[in-house]
Amino acid sequence: MGRVVFSSGLTVDSGGCTEDVSPAPLLEEFCQARGRQRQRLLNAVLDQGRQLVALIPTALQAYDPEGDDWAAGSLIQLLMAHAGPTQVEFLLRHPQGWFAAPSAMGQDHQPLQQALATEAFEEADRITMASLRQMAGPAAVERGYVFFSEVAAMATTDLDTIDRLWVAYSRGRYGFSVQRRLLKACGGRWQQLWPRLGWKQDGVWTRYPNQFTWRHAAPEGHMPLVNQLRGVRLMDALLNHPAITARCPDG
């Protein structure tokens, strides 16, 4: 079995298991790691979750609350999975959520951040769809869905916030900007994108909600969902909104 030795001397095997390392050096190495190294260390961090909890609030100081670094999101999810004094103090200190979640229209994005922080992905998806209807206006709220023509007027600040939260709390794997990147990787071909997202298999649409995977193990770009029964125009409008193109530019 292959092993990776990090700069601190921490050794991790190909399965993400560490060799007798104390929590503090492991957390420090995780916070400094990037790319594949970070992915290798994630399982080790999760395995030592309870031992790391007390260290997480301090570790978060290395990250930008206005960013979308998934390492910070993963640490918050780890903290939220272990009830205790550290979690209580964290929630009191950050009642609206640790990540900044600005809104240009007075919308409260705390419920979305709370759902994502606790890995309640199905709930987060429903909150996202409700937020899009609110952003589209009273007519969309009343009818229960958004017309593609209503997307262009959506507040850039709010759509950026929603996407940032999804990326940060999904290990960088979910969000509209991720879906845009995957569509580009498919050469703009929607029929290639659907199976890649896990939304369609063998020509059959995945049934909502029971056939979708509401966990980190879902295919990349699996969430948030966009109803395709009325065609691709709504999703095309979302993925080409300035808030999303700024986060996943062409080129």
Q: Could you tell me the residue range of the domain that residue 75 belongs to?
A: 3-93
Q: Are strands 200-201 and 204-205 parallel, antiparallel or unpaired?
A: antiparallel
State the CATH number of the domain containing residue 157: 1.10.10.1770
227 in any annotated domain: yes
98 in any annotated domain: no
- Looking at the fold, whether 118 and 204 belong to one and the same domain comes out as yes
- Looking at the fold, whether 86 and 194 belong to one and the same domain comes out as no
- Looking at the fold, whether 153 and 193 belong to one and the same domain comes out as yes
SS3 label, residue 243 = helix
Tell how far CA 68 is from the center of its chain.
9
35 in any annotated domain: yes
Q: For the range 174-178, what are the long-range contacts, defined as Cβ-Cβ under 8 Å and sequence gap of 24 or more?
A: 174/121, 174/218, 174/220, 174/221, 174/222, 174/223, 174/224, 175/221, 175/223, 175/224, 176/224, 176/238, 176/239, 176/241, 176/244, 177/244, 177/247, 177/248, 178/220, 178/221, 178/248
Question: In what helix (H) or strand (E) does residue 205 lie, and over which residues does it extend?
Answer: strand 204-205
- Looking at the fold, whether 140 and 214 belong to one and the same domain comes out as yes
Distance CA 189, CA 35 (A): 27
Question: What count of other Cβ atoms lies within 10 Å of the Cβ of residue 34?
Answer: 8
- Looking at the fold, whether 10 and 114 belong to one and the same domain comes out as no
The DSSP symbol for 94 reads -
Single-letter residue type at 22: S
Choose one of 59, 93, 127: the last residue of a domain: 93
- Looking at the fold, whether 121 and 194 belong to one and the same domain comes out as yes
100 in any annotated domain: no
Q: How many domains does the chain have?
A: 2
- Looking at the fold, whether 119 and 49 belong to one and the same domain comes out as no
141 in any annotated domain: yes
242 in any annotated domain: yes
- Looking at the fold, whether 118 and 88 belong to one and the same domain comes out as no
Q: What is the pLDDT of residue 16?
A: 55
Q: What is the pLDDT of residue 5?
A: 57
Choose one of 68, 93, 118: the last residue of a domain: 93
- Looking at the fold, whether 122 and 208 belong to one and the same domain comes out as yes
- Looking at the fold, whether 83 and 152 belong to one and the same domain comes out as no
Q: What is the pLDDT of residue 229?
A: 73
Tens-of-pLDDT digits for all 251 residues of the chain? 456 655 555 666 655 555 557 899 999 999 999 999 999 999 999 999 999 999 999 999 999 999 999 999 999 999 999 999 999 999 999 999 999 999 999 999 999 999 999 999 999 999 999 999 999 999 999 999 999 999 999 999 999 999 999 999 999 999 999 999 999 999 999 999 999 999 999 999 999 999 999 999 999 999 999 987 778 999 999 999 999 999 999 86
- Looking at the fold, whether 164 and 135 belong to one and the same domain comes out as yes
- Looking at the fold, whether 15 and 139 belong to one and the same domain comes out as no
103 in any annotated domain: no
168 in any annotated domain: yes
